[in-house]
Amino acid sequence: MAEFTHLVNERRSASNFLSGHPITKEDLNEMFELVALAPSAFNLQHTKYVTVLDQDVKEKLKQAANGQYKVVSSSAVLLVLGDKQAYQQAADIYEGLKVLGILNKQEYDHMVQDTVSFYENRGEQFKRDEAIRNASLSAMMFMLSAKEKGWDTCPMIGFDAEAVKRILNIDDQFEVVMMITIGKEKTESRRPRGYRKPVNEFVEYM
Amino acid sequence: MAEFTHLVNERRSASNFLSGHPITKEDLNEMFELVALAPSAFNLQHTKYVTVLDQDVKEKLKQAANGQYKVVSSSAVLLVLGDKQAYQQAADIYEGLKVLGILNKQEYDHMVQDTVSFYENRGEQFKRDEAIRNASLSAMMFMLSAKEKGWDTCPMIGFDAEAVKRILNIDDQFEVVMMITIGKEKTESRRPRGYRKPVNEFVEYM
């Protein structure tokens, strides 16, 4: 079985983690190097990760997550944020294309203006949708990258986002899109994988 | 380099496709078998794919996508939909846990009720966010699965969602979260990969 297929089959959402498995910034940065290569609309890279290793902060996050124990049994807790103002960095992000001569000044200005007006014309709801959309693409890349490096994850949505923003001092510019806990899964707590719809139930061909 | 790392490095968003590379339902279903294993909140599997192989329909979609040529040069066009009413299938999706005896009747009823009230308490905006969030997790899994099977993709957001819904007769229950074109990349049209922020610019540790 190809390694990717094996990886996808092996990736499970952990319901609990083993204690005594500290994770380092170096471990996590290896995963983030891959996450950086995820696609994002207009290459704006809307996603930001607040990665909590500190046990006291994890305790506070546990309260904001309905007391879910895996928040503190995890090796780290990631808050996946989407930047609703990401489009405002278009000029910086596309700068390299001009410096490398791939775009001339006029083409560069056009590209920046097209991206900025694309977001401004569609308004606040769209900017928020884009924060959620692109941060979720990134989050899936993170969970597969973590599994590839031998770590287990659990994506979570059962938490009070406003409380999390207060605990971590997150600006309103950012949408808290998802919480991901990472560690070494306590496999004794594992259930059989949940029922999955057959392909013909979620795919329609035309 | 591990196969997954190679896959992530090789996956690029195609700006154009080679003609003459038909894709079959069997090719696509192999990818969807992997996509089925993506995580989703409460295992509700919010995502649905309308996969267009018909060239006439692709021509109509091209008009709805600002005339972008890759819509018709692609081998297929996928509309990634998120079901805003996915939580209403909780009873069916969890049924197997009761049948297998993993849950007794009371635990099963609790689990269904907890999931349904989680969505109903948080309201319409949350249901919509969840459609976008979970469909985007699924879409990232699709793009990596496609690359693993030797196909190239391009996630797209530059289209008129209402026009797409009319063309494909998509019910308002579904959010059109993303368009993905798939085919064999016309590498002559390829630019160097866009600038990527260094890890320390999008990751904060606490």
Instruction: Tally the domains of chain B.
Output: 1
- Measured between CA atoms, how close is A96 to chain B, in angstroms? 7
Between CA A132 and CA A135 the distance in angstroms is 5
Question: Is B4 within a domain?
Answer: no
The predicted pLDDT at position B26 comes to: 98
The single-letter code of the amino acid at B78 is L
User: Which of A7, A38, A195 lies at the smallest CB-CB distance from B93?
Assistant: A195
Question: Is A3 within a domain?
Answer: no
Instruction: Please answer yes or no on whether A4 and B2 come within 8 Å at the CB atom.
Output: no
Burial of residue B3 (number of CB atoms within 10 Å: 0-12, 13-18, 19+): middle
Between CA A16 and CA A183 the distance in angstroms is 9
The predicted pLDDT at position A88 comes to: 98
DSSP string, A16-28: -B-SS----HHHH
The interface predicted TM-score of the complex, written ipTM, equals 0.97
Please list every residue in chain B whose beta carbon sits closer than 8 Å to the beta carbon of residue A11.
37, 39
Separation in Å, CA A53 to CA A157, A178, B20: 19, 17, 51
Question: Is B50 within a domain?
Answer: yes
Question: Is A102 within a domain?
Answer: no
User: Which of B34, B155, B197 lies at the smallest CB-CB distance from A5?
Assistant: B34
Please tell me whether B193 is known to bind a ligand: yes
Is-contact A36 B199, C-beta < 8 A?
yes
**Domain extent for A49:** 12-85+126-193
Mean pLDDT by 10 residues, chain A (206 residues): 91 95 98 98 98 98 97 98 98 95 96 98 98 98 98 98 98 98 93 93 98
| % of chain A at pLDDT higher than 70 | 100
> Under 8 Å CB-to-CB from A35, ≥6 apart: which residues?
A47, A49, A138, A141, A142, A145
Question: Is A103 within a domain?
Answer: no
The predicted pLDDT at position B42 comes to: 98
Question: Is A117 within a domain?
Answer: no
**Residue list, annotated binding site of A for FMN:** 11-13, 68-70, 157-158, 193, 196
The predicted pLDDT at position A1 comes to: 61
Question: Which chain B residue lies closest to A95 (C-alpha atoms)?
Answer: B195
Residue with tokens 């635990």: B107
Please list every residue in chain B whose beta carbon sits closer than 8 Å to the beta carbon of residue A143.
39
CATH of the domain at A138: 3.40.109.10
Question: Is B197 within a domain?
Answer: no
Question: Is B206 within a domain?
Answer: no
| The pair of three-digit structure tokens given for residue B75, joined into one six-digit string | 């081998």
| The pair of three-digit structure tokens given for residue B132, joined into one six-digit string | 């976008």
Please tell me whether B101 is known to bind a ligand: no
The predicted pLDDT at position B190 comes to: 86
Which residue ranges in chain B fall short of pLDDT 70? 1
Instruction: Please answer yes or no on whether A199 and B38 come within 8 Å at the CB atom.
Output: no
